[in-house]
Amino acid sequence: MSCELVLVLDAPSPRDLASALKRLSGRVRWAKVGLEMFTACGPDCVREVAAMGFDVFLDLKLHDIPNTVARAVESAAKLPVKMLTLHTAGGREMMRQAVKAQQQTAPQLRLLGVTVLTSLGEPDLKETGIDATPEAQVLRLARLATDSGLDGLVCSPLEIASLRRQVPPSVRLIVPGIRPAGLGTRDDQTRVMTPAEAARAGADFIVVGRPIFKAPDPVAAAQAILAELATA
């Protein structure tokens, strides 16, 4: 399977990005709605993005008691979403109940486990009481997630190869922390890789926002990434 590009919609509303999204529709399949947009305009933003022709990745990183997360999955399943995130740190029972709710209400919905945020390094983990490297913590949580029935993982580019050796081939890897070569900035990401490097390492999806939407020509920036993926 080839690696696909996911657009990150870092804005309060789809209308803030409407001009670029209209031009990108039909060129890029996936768009990610995150906490900022969902908090600002709620489920309607998901419907708007889907109506523009995108498959929606709803990135809410659910993390609560098992019953609450299961009910949230059921609610999200009523929306036109294809992927939904939850925090693997919520534990085995939380993930199992989320998977059960997904299977009963939306078998086509892919649940993704967030392991270690790409903004966190080893010192950050130690401050929260985790005495492990980011890679070791990612692998530990990935095992827990796949054992619990999740069929996708969100990870940094630097953990792709390790996860590919550990998780079943059917588990999809969704990778933020992507910065095109020559960009010159990492923003708030600490563990980054270029699109081609991530694709060659085994990513199924790369997640890119600011390098596209902050570019003088977002369509040209997206097309350059797609071309890089095609030749990786």
8 is in which domain, residue-wise?
Answer: 4-231
Q: How many domains is the chain partitioned into structurally?
A: 1
Residue 153: which CATH number?
A: 3.20.20.70
61 is catalytic: yes
Query: Residues 135, 118: contact at Cβ < 8 Å?
Result: no
Helix (H, G, I), strand (E, B) or coil at 211: helix
Q: What Rg value do the Cα atoms of the chain yield, rounded?
A: 17
Alpha-carbon gap, residue 184 to 109, rounded angstroms: 36
The mean pLDDT value for 157-166 works out to 92
**H-run or E-run covering 19:** helix 18-24
Alpha-carbon gap, residue 103 to 166, rounded angstroms: 24
Q: Which is higher by pLDDT, 177 or 23? A: 23
Helix (H, G, I), strand (E, B) or coil at 143: helix
The mean pLDDT value for 148-163 works out to 93
Contacts of 125 (CB under 8 A, 6+ apart): 116, 131, 132, 133, 134, 137
Beta strands in 165-221 (DSSP E): 172-175, 205-208
**Mean pLDDT computed over every residue of the chain:** 92
- Please give the torsion angle defined by the CA atoms of residues 71, 74, 78 and 81, in that order, rounded to the nearest 10 degrees: 110
The pLDDT of residue 120 is 85
pLDDT digits (tens, 9 = 90+) for 40-78: 999 999 999 999 999 999 999 999 999 999 999 999 999
- How confident is residue 123, by pLDDT bands cut at 50, 70 and 90? very high
The mean pLDDT value for 210-229 works out to 94
- Please give the torsion angle defined by the CA atoms of residues 203, 204, 209 and 215, in that order, rounded to the nearest 10 degrees: 80
The pLDDT of residue 191 is 52
In the set 32, 61, 126, 214, the catalytic residue is 61
Alpha-carbon gap, residue 132 to 160, rounded angstroms: 18
